[in-house]
Amino acid sequence: MHPVISTADLAALLDAGPAARPTVLDVRWRLAGPPGVDSYHAGHLPGAAYLDLDTELAGSPGAGGRHPLPEPGALQRSLRAAGVRAGHPVVAYDDGDSSVAARAWWLLRWAGHREVAVLDGGFAAWQAEGRPVTTESDEATAPREGDITVRPGGMPVLDAEGAVRYARSGVLLDARAPQRYTGETEPVDPRPGHIPGARNAPFSAHSGPDGRWRAPEELAGHFAALGVEPGVPVGAYCGSGVTASSVVLALELAGHPEPAALYPGSWSEWSADPERPAATGPTPG
């Protein structure tokens, strides 16, 4: 399954009947609120199930960062309750920039589920086109209990030591905004700066003003300018492992031959340890 699906293609699948209809996941979330579930109740795609980033697409915050990977059993229960079935396609959407939807995409791939895509442009694009939105559960389209078995290991993962290796001998991409990368500001995590050797690759560069993903050739040029090339290991991190998932997806769209490795703990884990160095300024350091 292609990692990104258009609104038109998803609409056609939703109209094609139960056998062809994918499981749709609403994963809207905002760092500063309001809660994404409120948006879900105010209006969502027909048949969509809501999954919360903080409690279902991540484990409890702690030493592993603000959004560590969820425990496999807990993730499996959440995905099954949302109707995710083995071998059946899944489409995830968020408010529009695809960063949280990319986290859902990455988690499903990590869990061994290959048939998953992100809705191009998210809920904003769907609504702007006048496509159907509902505030109620429809028995005809509501997800039935899924049967997915979570098998971790479907996508490469880095720990802090692995991030150091990638920064030294490969390419480590920092998906945060430039001001957080340089250390000018740090609104959330313990210390400002970035992992020494990491290169800034803001996730906002993956999409255009309308929230839709940039063309593969544009993404390929973007990553080539950052030193990404075949045969060179690539890793990605961000504040808490969420927006970095969109780097992994964007690299796949760009045609990178191997999945990039994700550092789930990201800067929230790294910066919490005062023994780990922090570089500042616009260069990798």
Cα within 13 Å of Cα(52), Cβ side: 13
DSSP for 90-143, please give it.
EEEE-SSS-HHHHHHHHHHHHTT---EEEETTHHHHHHHTT---BSS--TTTSP
Q: Is 238 a catalytic residue?
A: yes
CA distance 116 to 22: 9
Q: What share of the chain is helix, strand, coil (3-state, %, to 5)?
A: 30, 15, 55
CB 267 within 8 A of CB 238: yes
Q: Which of 90, 155, 238, 251 is catalytic?
A: 238
- List, by residue number, the catalytic residues: 238
